[in-house]
Homo-oligomer: A and B are copies of this chain.
Amino acid sequence: MWCPCTRRAPRIHRDRYLLTPAFAQTIRLSSGTTTTMGASGTRTVNTTERLAKLRQLLKKPENKVKAFVVPSEDQHFSEYPAHSDERRAFISGFNGSAGCAIITLRDAFLFTDGRYFLQASQQLDSNWKLMKQGLPDVPTWQEFLSKHLEQGTRIGIDPTLISAAVDAESLKKSLEPRGSELVSLQQNPVDIVWGKDRPPHPHNSVFPLDVKYAVGETFQSKLQRLRAEIAKKNAVASVVTLLDEVAWLFNLRGTDIDFNPVFFAYAVVTPTQAILFMNDAQVQNSIKTSMGSDVEIRPYESFIPSLKQLTRTLGANKEKPMLLGDKTSLAVVEAIGQENAVLIPSPVAAMKAIKNETEIEGFRQCHIRDGAALTRYFAWLEEQLNSGVELNESQGAAQLEEFRSELDLFRGLSFETISSTGPNAAVIHYSPDPDDCAIIKKDQIYLCDSGGQYLDGTTDVTRTLHFGTPTDEEKRAFTRVLQGHISIDTAIFPTGTSGVDSFARRALWQEGWDYRHGTGHGVGHFLNVHEGPHGIGTRIAYNSTSLKVGMTVSNEPGYYADGRYGIRIESVVIVREAKTPNNFGNGYLCFEHVTMCPIQTKLIDFSVLTAQEKEWLNSYHVETLEKVGPLLRNDPRALQWLERECSPV
């Protein structure tokens, strides 16, 4: 599933996934985008009173700011924030996934991008001015602060929600010549206005993962490796603020957040201490016992005050600093003092990205099981459509979740299923609204992008099918996407290379086609389906982080014909050492695919497929049948479908 930073949709079906309940309903707008609506069902929230209260607070002597910034982010810069962290939605009434509100003493501005212009214009009341970012002459919210507010403005922020390295740094630089300044407020005034209506912060019990069968490394060993990094960087401690990093480091998982099996926590690791800042009630005694004296648990709320004290007791300074990841909030930097901290690409992210052999074996196993659920679903869907049963996209997704939920070690979906027919398949971030979505049509392309969370790994797979007769253009597009997929799957490249993205596009380019997303993102191990720091794409971030043995990454080229159809073929692959006949340089890498689900041969235009590509396809199908077939003993329909779909071409 593509695009970690721009999508977020609430989860609807949660029969087995022990997460917080959805608070929202979803409707599909005519534009094809997904709109999340408040539980009240009303389209517009009257924000007059909220804004009035907020402005009172801004004017108070302890604040004395003339503007306040309310971004979408939570304190951990999570992809899916908890509802108690949806401050921007509360204050503005607009609850799309991306946007930033700026409230001045007189006006209120909501900045969002093209995906949300319609939704925002419907949800905002007359107190708000919609700022359509991306249109000519519309500033970003960052530009707005420096260019459109009066000179010398004190601008209030909640420093826990602003990243120090990216936003705070550049904002300070652009505000300085204007004589304006960012002012970190002690308490977020939106929280005060929200008051008792604010949903409680989630605090579900966490659970440990088995070292031998699931994660392959004790948390003590991980701490030791992190301590080696701390020593290498000549630092006194490492501060871990991202939820998946904390979960990985301590071999714990939780259910505080949708789709990501994480829990609210921070951690500080020093050469001798490991402090976990989290709600004590979330940790069972058995976990505490097994952690023993290696880990000290302190209250979540004590994190910032503890940082101040730790900075002093550890004697952090410029020469011996605290290590912070580059996504750390300004509040953390301010607590430690800029001069005592160094912001670097997170060492925990780098360690987590490289999977050990236990995790890799888990990836293989969970993908085989996951492939069985997908096979059962596609076989079922074909039968339904052939029998003339009317099914909508959401019902399809629900059935797929049902099949997944019967699998061993299943712990929920890894993201909202993209079940999309015809034109909806061209909407990259589509997810169907159960109350208002399209009927799956036999004579249209059907694109299904979905994934599961399992105790032994995380899956993310897209298959595109046609249950009737595809057009020549659809077949050509599918084949070009497939050629790109095969080109990545079979690539061999020297260690340190970052330029394999174009392999996925070459065949499409021959037709004058392309896709406006990257080719691959990192995948967590029973963790976030999107993880860094690596990927396959043209973005600078990806190209500055080369692929390394043991990394997991998606291989998902696509093509989207707006208003007509969309195609994507996605499998998860693991970076492995390549056994090449020669070894010029420092070694070569290749990919091992773990996703096991047939690629529909009916959609192939064989006039452009090479002999080698045909061979690859046949061999992939032999492997898939061999691995997934044995799991389908109790579903003859699925087994028959799998055998047919895996027959050689």
Contact = CB atoms under 8 A, between A and B. Distances in A.
Interface stretch (A23-31, A394-402, A496-504, A596-604): A496-504
Contact of A578 (B501, B503, B512): B512
B502 A493 contact: yes
Contacts of A491: 506, 509
Contacts of A511: 580-582
B538 A509 contact: no
Interface in A463-517: 491-494, 497, 499-503, 505-506, 509-514
A151 B502 CA distance: 49
**Counting chain B CB atoms within 10 Å of each CB, which of A510, A585, A611, A612 scores highest?**
A510
Contacts of A500: 502
A500 B503 CA distance: 9
Interface string A106-129: 000000000000000000000000
A90 interface: no
Contacts of A583: 512
A245 to B, nearest CB: 30
A303 interface: no
A610 interface: yes
Copies of this chain, count: 2
Interface residues of A, number: 31
Nearest to A610: B610
A2 interface: no
Interface string A283-327: 000000000000000000000000000000000000000000000
Interface string A500-544: 111101100111111000000000000000000000001000000
Contact of A584 (B506, B514, B578, B584): B514
Contacts of A588: 509, 512
Contacts of A580: 509-512
Nearest to A579: B512
Nearest to A499: B502
Contacts of A502: 493, 497, 499-500, 502-503
Interface string A341-368: 0000000000000000000000000000
A581 B512 contact: yes
A513 B582 contact: yes
Contacts of A513: 582, 584
A582 B497 contact: no
Contacts of A610: 610-612
A502 B501 CA distance: 9
A220 to B, nearest CB: 36
A383 B233 CA distance: 65
A616 B34 CA distance: 48
**Counting chain B CB atoms within 10 Å of each CB, which of A499, A503, A580, A612 scores highest?**
A499
A584 B499 contact: no
A554 to B, nearest CB: 19
A494 B506 contact: no
Interface string A567-610: 00000000000101111110010000000000000000000001
Contacts of A494: 509, 514
A538 B501 CA distance: 13
Given A492-B510, A494-B509, A499-B501, 13 more contacts: A491-B509, A492-B509, A493-B509, A497-B502, A502-B502, A510-B580, A511-B581, A512-B584, A513-B582, A513-B584, A514-B584, A559-B584, A610-B610
Interface of A: 491-494, 497, 499-503, 505-506, 509-514, 538, 559, 578, 580-585, 588, 610-612
11 contacts: A493-B509, A494-B509, A502-B503, A503-B506, A510-B580, A511-B580, A511-B582, A512-B581, A513-B584, A559-B584, A610-B611
The 6 tightest CB contacts between A and B, nearest first, are A512-B580, A512-B582, A499-B502, A492-B509, A512-B583, A513-B584
